[in-house]
Structure 1
C-alpha cells in the first residue's frame, strides 16, 4: 500500500450520527462513506488557518524500579484523544443550531438549553484527497472571534459508537472514495 499524506483541508461535512455498518467483520467501507457524504451538510466556508487535527498524549503511569530508577512497566490509563477543529467564517442559523445547539428561528438564532450534548458525524477531506471520518463525535460549537468576525468555532472529538465493526475514527485513502 502506497503512503499518502494528509495535508490541509479541502472539504468538510457534518451529519447525523452513523448507527450502522453493512458488514461488521470488515468495518465501514469507502463505498459506505461515499454514500454517506451525499446525505451530509457540506460546510461552505472555513476561515483561513483555523482547520486542525490534533491528538493529545495518552495518560500513563510509570512504574519505577526503586533499585535502578528506571521504569520497568508503563500503563496507559487513558488513550490519546483526537480532535478535529475548524471555524466557519460564514454560516447559516441552521448550521449554528446544528453545531452549537440552541434554536434556529424564522429571523435568527436563539440560545436555549446550552448544556445539551451535540453529537454529529464529521467527514474531512484533505487537500491531498484523503478522508478522516468520525461516525459519532461530540461537537463543541461556540462563537469564535477571528479577525473581527464572529465565526462558529467547532471542535469534534470521536466517541465510541456502540456499533460492532464501526470504529470511532477511520481514515480513508481517497483513491477508494472518489467523489465526483
Structure 2
C-alpha cells in the first residue's frame, strides 16, 4: 500500500508544500558528486547468508516485530513507499494508551486506488528495533487510523530515513549504520 500524506506534509502550510513540490519536480543531476570519506559513511551491505532462511522466489512484504511503547508489536510492515507512520486503531486500543496522549491532527491519507482515509489523531511513542546490543530506540509519531488491515502498524520512509535504515526486500531485512545503534 502506498500511503501519501501524513506528518511530513500535512502539518506544513500550503506555501511550504508547494515549495517542496517545486523542489522535487525540478531536481536536476549536475554530474558532480562530492566525495565523502567512508569513515563518515560506513558501507551497509547484504550478503548471500542474509537470505539463508528464505525460499526464493517469493512475494512477501517486509514485516517485522518491534517494541512500540511497552508492547512487543508483531506484524509491522516496513514500507519504503509510505509517506507516514501508521498505527492501526485496534493495536492502539490493545496497548491501553491513555487518550490524553493523542494529538489532534489535520491530515488526509491517500492509499492505493485513491481511497482517502482520515486519521483519528496522532500519538508519539518510543519504538525499539533490533536485538540487544544492536538495537535502536527513537520516538516515532504515528497517525492512528481506524480501518482494517492485516498489519498492526506501518513504518514509513520518514522514520526509515531518519534512522538511516537500509532495507532489502530480497533478504527481508533492515540494517542500520553502526552510528545509529
TM-score by length of 2: 0.32
Instruction: Find the structure with the greater CA-based Rg.
Output: 1
Q: Greater helix percent: which structure? A: 2
Q: Greater strand percent: which structure? A: 1
